Chain A
Amino acid sequence: AAGVIQSPRHLIKEKRETATLKCYPIPRHDTVYWYQQGPGQDPQFLISFYEKMQSDKGSIPDRFSAQQFSDYHSELNMSSLELGDSALYFCASSFLTGGIHGYTFGSGTRLTVV
C-alpha cells in the first residue's frame, strides 16, 4: 500500500539558509499535517491543510510557510534557519481529518542546522 512520502530524508543547512521539505500524502487522503519533533520530545503541530486550504495553524514560526498544491503534495518552506530548527519534521496525512481514521506519518526529514 502507498505510504506518505517525504523528501529529502536528511538535510544539512547552515544558519540563515533556506530549506524546503516535501510531502506526498496517501492518495485520496484529504488532509495533510506538518509536525516538528525535537530530540526526546513529542511531535509539535505546525500547520495543516484540508483539500488544499490551510485548515489549522499551530506553533509555526513566521519564518516558516507551507502550502498544498493541486496534486495534493505539500511543501514546508523554512527561511532564516536557526540552530533551534534542527529537528525531525514529519508530514502526516489522513482521511476525513483523522477523526475516525488515524494519521499515517511519513518517514520524516531530519534537518540539521549548523
Chain B
Amino acid sequence: QQPVQSPQAVILREGEDAVINCSSSKALYSVHWYRQKHGEAPVFLMILLKGGEQMRHEKISASFNEKKQQSSLYLTASQLSYSGTYFCGTLGNAGGTSYGKLTFGQGTILTVHP
C-alpha cells in the first residue's frame, strides 16, 4: 500500500525550514527518502531503519516513529539546491527483515526562492 506524504507542496525562501511527513498503514522495516529534480533520477538521501537512530544528510535530517509508522524529513536553513520533489519510499517488515520493493509516496514538491 502506498505511503501518504504531506504536504503536497511547500514554498520556502532561502534559509527557512520545512518538514515533510510520510505515513504508512503497514508495519515498516525501513523508510527511504529521495530527492528528484525535474527530468532526473531520484537521488538517495537517507534511510531510517526500524529501531535505528535519527539520520542526517548535510542540513537535512529525518526521524522514524515506529509506533505510528511515520517518518518526517526536516530541512533546515533551506538552500536553492534543495528544490525538487521529495519522495519517501517504504519497505515492508516481514519477521524483522525487509522484503519486496520500495513503494513510493506521491511526492512533495519543494520550491526554494532566493
Residues of A within 8 A of B (CB): 33, 41-43, 45, 48, 56, 58, 88, 90, 97-108, 110
Contacts and interface: CB of A to CB of B under 8 A. Distances in A.
Nearest to B2: A42
Contacts, number: 60
30 contacts: A33-B102, A41-B106, A42-B104, A42-B106, A42-B107, A43-B104, A45-B102, A48-B101, A58-B101, A88-B39, A90-B42, A97-B98, A97-B99, A98-B32, A98-B91, A98-B102, A99-B29, A99-B91, A99-B98, A100-B30, A100-B47, A102-B34, A102-B44, A103-B32, A103-B42, A103-B44, A103-B89, A103-B102, A105-B43, A108-B41
Given A42-B105, A42-B106, A97-B99, 11 more contacts: A42-B107, A43-B87, A90-B42, A98-B98, A98-B102, A99-B98, A101-B47, A102-B34, A102-B46, A103-B32, A105-B41
Chain B interface category by residue count: 20 to 34
Interface in B60-114: 87, 89, 91, 97-107
Interface of B: 2, 29-30, 32, 34, 39-44, 46-47, 49, 87, 89, 91, 97-107
